[in-house]
């Protein structure tokens, strides 16, 4: 059954005209992650590769293509976690880093800390020779158009915009049964400057523990934080539920307890996996045993041999 990689391109409502691009993007990222696993790479290598591809794809709300804060600026959050050691790394509100997920991994591997924010994260990036880009280079016309629309009072409430451009994430199990997760986002549209969502917080935007599995989340960040969604999925799995049932139970709890909507991708250490959501749509893809799985709509599950 091993190995497997599962990715998401954000839960919410995927506008019709962006659905094909989102599907293509998640499929390409899942395949890229799987190539890493097939080459003997670790689950951490695979999730970072998959999320890097999604950050570089301007279809998604991460890296280039991130949504903008109220001032029209990019502020991105990202998280990685390694299920073997429980090591994790995160960056918060970074502005001029093309791939925040890679910087998160460096925080995990090269510092004694778990999370670095704003200028501190930038100074660290510099010390690691991570190139800094012009913040404007991460802003797409689409993101700027949405930002402008959202400035008009009452026309497009921010809640309705959540997920229209999706956060990205991945989970994987490698040939040794090690699990990992990675999640990266520009946050929610027109957020206050300095707003930190669920994504960089362990247990919320993601969690990975070899003893139970790994999860990457997406959706309404404030709701996700209230129920620590990623850890909640694993809690249900610890109590005997499958990856799929645990994901559904946690999403149902978030909906009933705090009226929050979202989505998750989940694996257990044996390679069972799930991509589940309570929103209208979520683009997702998985590769296992040379089969590519993907979907966007509720109940949609397409498969294709990748050879
Ligand atoms: N679309 C998303 O998943 C947004 C992200 N969870 C946040 O609140 O920052």
- Asked if residue 218 has its Cβ within 6 Å of ligand 1, the reply is yes
User: For residue 17, what pLDDT is reported?
Assistant: 85
Q: Is 60 exceeded by the pLDDT of residue 161?
A: no
Q: How far is the CA of 143 from the centre of ligand 1 (A)?
A: 15
Catalytic residue annotation? 167
Give me 82's structure tokens.
Answer: 């390694």
Q: Is 60 exceeded by the pLDDT of residue 42?
A: yes
* Confidence bin at 155 (pLDDT 50/70/90): low
- Asked if residue 197 has its Cβ within 6 Å of ligand 1, the reply is yes
pTM of the model: 0.96
Question: CA-based angle 39:45:51, to the nearest 5?
Answer: 115
The continuous run of DSSP H or E covering 1 comes out as none
User: For residue 159, what pLDDT is reported?
Assistant: 47
Alpha carbon 203 to its chain's center:
13
Tell me how far apart the alpha carbons of residues 52 and 74 are, in angstroms, rounded to a whole number: 17
Torsion of CA 253, 254, 260, 265, to 10 degrees: -110
Question: CA-based angle 52:43:108, to the nearest 5?
Answer: 70
> 181, 193 in Cβ contact below 8 A?
no
- Asked if residue 199 has its Cβ within 6 Å of ligand 1, the reply is yes
Task: Evaluate whether ipTM surpasses 0.85.
Answer: yes
Identify which of 218, 227, 261, 278 to mutate to test ligand 1's pocket (most ligand atoms within 8 A of the CB): 218
| Lowest pLDDT segment from 10-24, 178-192, 215-229, 265-279 | 10-24
pLDDT tens profile 50-95: 999 999 999 999 999 999 999 999 999 999 999 999 999 999 999 9
> 177, 45 in Cβ contact below 8 A?
no
How confident is the prediction for the chain on average, in pLDDT? 94
For each of the domains in the chain, give its residue range(s) and CATH number, in order of start.
Answer: 4-305 (3.60.20.30)
| Lowest pLDDT segment from 14-18, 167-171, 181-185, 235-239 | 14-18
Q: 10 Å Cβ neighbour count for 137?
A: 11
Measured CA distances, 275 to 14, 84, 130, 151, 245 (Å): 16, 22, 32, 33, 11
């Amino acid at each position: 059954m091993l190995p497997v990689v599962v990715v998401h391109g954000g839960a919410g409502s995927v506008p019709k005209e962006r659905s094909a691009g989102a599907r293509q993007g998640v499929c390409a990222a899942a395949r890229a992650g799987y190539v890493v696993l097939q080459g003997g790479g670790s689950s951490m290598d695979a999730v970072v590769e998959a999320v890097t591809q999604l950050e570089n794809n301007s279809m998604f709300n991460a890296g280039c293509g991130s949504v903008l804060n109220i001032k029209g600026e990019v502020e991105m959050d990202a998280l990685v976690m390694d299920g073997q050691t429980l090591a994790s790394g995160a960056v918060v509100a970074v502005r001029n880093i093309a791939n925040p997920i890679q910087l998160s991994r460096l925080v995990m591997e090269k510092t004694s800390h778990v999370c670095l924010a704003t200028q501190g994260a930038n100074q660290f990036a510099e010390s690691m020779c991570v190139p800094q880009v012009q913040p404007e280079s991460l802003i797409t016309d689409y993101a700027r158009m949405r930002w402008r629309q959202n400035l008009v009072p009452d026309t497009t409430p921010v809640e309705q915009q959540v997920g229209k451009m999706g956060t990205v994430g991945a989970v994987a199990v490698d040939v040794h049964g090690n699990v990992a997760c990675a999640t990266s986002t520009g946050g929610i549209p027109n957020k206050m400057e300095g707003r930190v969502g669920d994504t960089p917080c362990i247990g919320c935007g993601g969690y990975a523990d070899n003893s139970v599995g790994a999860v990457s989340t997406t959706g309404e960040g404030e709701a996700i934080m209230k129920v620590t969604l990623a850890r909640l999925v694993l809690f249900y799995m610890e109590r005997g539920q499958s990856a799929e049932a645990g994901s559904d139970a946690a999403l149902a709890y978030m909906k009933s307890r705090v009226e929050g909507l979202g989505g998750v991708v989940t694996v257990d250490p044996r390679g069972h996996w799930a991509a589940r959501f309570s929103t209208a749509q979520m683009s997702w893809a998985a590769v296992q045993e040379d089969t590519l799985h993907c979907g966007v709509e509720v109940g949609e599950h397409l498969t294709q041999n990748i050879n």
